[in-house]
Amino acid sequence: MSEQNEQSIDLKSKLFRFNTLIGFVIAAVIIYVFTTRFDFKDTLNIISSANIFLMLAALIVFYGFLPMRGHRWRKLLKESNIEVPVLELTRVYFMAWFANSILPARIGDLYRCYLLKKNRQVSFSLSLGVLFSERIFDLAATAILVVLGGLIYMNRIASEQIRNSLTYGLIAVFGIIIVFIVFSWRANWLEKWMPEKIRKYYDSFRQGLFRSPKQAPFIMIESLLIWLSESARLYFVAWALGYQFDFLLAVFVAQAALIIMSLPLTPAGLGLVELLMFGVLIPAGYSQEAAAAIVIADRLISYWSLIIFGAIHYVFSPRYR
C-alpha cells in the first residue's frame, strides 16, 4: 500500500463493505454449527457459576500485557530513530485490536500504520517495515509455543481439516521466518528491479526492517511473554469455571487459535476460533458443555470485551481513529 491510499483506512466506511458483511455471515454460520454441538442451557449454567475474581484475573492478564506490546513496538521503531511514548503506542495498539475484531483480513495492522502516520507523521511505508518485523517475532514466538504444546495435543484435534490447516500454517510460519531473515539483510537487491515511482516507498519500508542482532533476544523474550499471556488468560478462565487445566494445553489451544485467527475469512477468526478450541478440548477430556463454557467465557474476554471497550474508545478518542 502506498502513501497516497493509506488515507482510505476508515473503520466506519469499511465496516459496511460487502467483504466485511460476508465475513460476519460466514462467522454466523460457523457459530451456529458450533452451538449445535452442546446443550446451551447447561453451558450457560456452568458460565453463570464462574468465580468472578478469577475471571477478573483473566481480564487483567489480557489487557495488562497491552503496554508490553506498546513497549516492544517502541523498541522496534527506535531502531529507525523514531521516538513515540509507550502510552500512545499502547492506545494505538488497542485500537488496532478493535479494528481486527470488526474487520476481516487483519485491517487493524494497517490501521496502526495509518494512525502513526496521522498523529506522528511517520512514513506509512516505514511503519509497514516495522510492522513486518514485529509480525516475524510474533510468528516465531507462536510457532515455538504451538510446537511445545503440540507435541502432546496436536493429535487430539478432532477435525482432520483443522489439524491439517494448523500443520500447513506452521510450515508457512517457519518459511516466512526464514525468508525474513534472508530478506532483511539483502533487501536492497530488489530495488534495481523496481519502477522509479515505487522505489522510494520500498526504500522507506526497508528502513523499518529490523536488523539489530543484539536486540533480537530481548524482543524475542518480550514476544514470548506477550503470547504466553494469551495462554495465562485461558488458564484463568478454565480455573474460574472450576476445571483443572494443564498449562501446556492452554499454551497449545491459545497459540493454535492465534494461527487460525490470522486467516482472512472472518473478523478475528470469529467462529473458526471457537470451533478449533472446542475441537481440541473435547478429546483432551472435557465434556461438550464444559468445553463450550471454556470457549465462550474466554471469547467473552478476548473478543467481545474488545468490541465493547474498543467502540467506547473509538467514540470518545478522536485522535485514535
Tens-digit pLDDT profile for residues 156-191: 665 666 667 667 767 777 777 777 666 666 666 666
Mean pLDDT computed over every residue of the chain: 87
Q: Which of 138-142, 218-222, 227-231, 298-302 has the lowest mean pLDDT?
A: 138-142
pTM given for the model: 0.87
pLDDT of residue 109: 87
| 217-246: pLDDT as tens digits | 999 999 999 999 999 999 999 999 999 888
pLDDT of residue 5: 45
The three-state (H, E, C) secondary structure of the chain, written as one string: CCCCHHHHCCHHHHHCCHHHHHHHHHHHHHHHHHHCCCCHHHHHHHHHCCCHHHHHHHHHHHHHCHHHHHHHHHHHHHCCCCCCCHHHHHHHHHHHHHHHHHCCCCHHHHHHHHHHHHHHCCCHHHHHHHHHHHHHHHHHHHHHHHHHHHHHHHHHCCCHHHHHHHHHHHHHHHHHHHHHHHHHHCHHHHHHHCCHHHHHHHHHHHHCCCCCCCCHHHHHHHHHHHHHHHHHHHHHHHHHCCCCCCHHHHHHHHHHHHHHHCCCCCHHHCCHHHHHHHHHHCCCCCCHHHHHHHHHHHHHHHHHHHHHHHHHHHHHCHHHC
pLDDT of residue 1: 45
Cell numbers at 131, concatenated: 510492522
- Residue 35 pLDDT greater than 60, yes or no: yes
- Average the pLDDT over 298-302 and give the result: 97
